[in-house]
Amino acid sequence: MPPRCNEVRTVLTRNGFACERSAKHETWIRRDSNGGVEARTFVSHGNKEIKVPKTFKDILRQSKKTEEEFYRVLRG
């Protein structure tokens, strides 16, 4: 079952990301100790399923996580 946008937001928050902008899409950024951008990814508004596998893989790559890490963090 593909993940939902709210699940992606949960994992990003638990990994130190914050939503810094919300226009066409939400921009989620994790900053390093100096305030520089360490990682950045984008999530659609709402809570729809991410049905396109490439979209989910892009979010994982941009957030520097593997699929296994994603589901481990999601389960808590």
AA identity, residue 55: T
Query: For each of the chain's 76 residues, which pLDDT tens digit applies?
Result: 789 999 999 999 999 999 999 988 999 999 999 999 999 999 999 999 999 999 999 999 999 999 999 999 999 8
Report all structural domains of the chain as residue ranges with CATH numbers, in order of start: 5-75 (3.30.920.30)
Residue among 51, 57, 70 nearest 8 (CA): 70
pLDDT computed for residue 13 by the predictor: 97
pLDDT computed for residue 23 by the predictor: 87
Tokens of 66: 């593997």
- For residues 50 and 8, is the Cβ–Cβ distance under 8 A? yes
Distances (CA, A) of 34 to 3, 13, 17, 31, 37: 32, 19, 15, 8, 9
pLDDT computed for residue 17 by the predictor: 97
pLDDT computed for residue 32 by the predictor: 95
Q: How many CA atoms lie within 13 A of 3 on its CB side?
A: 25
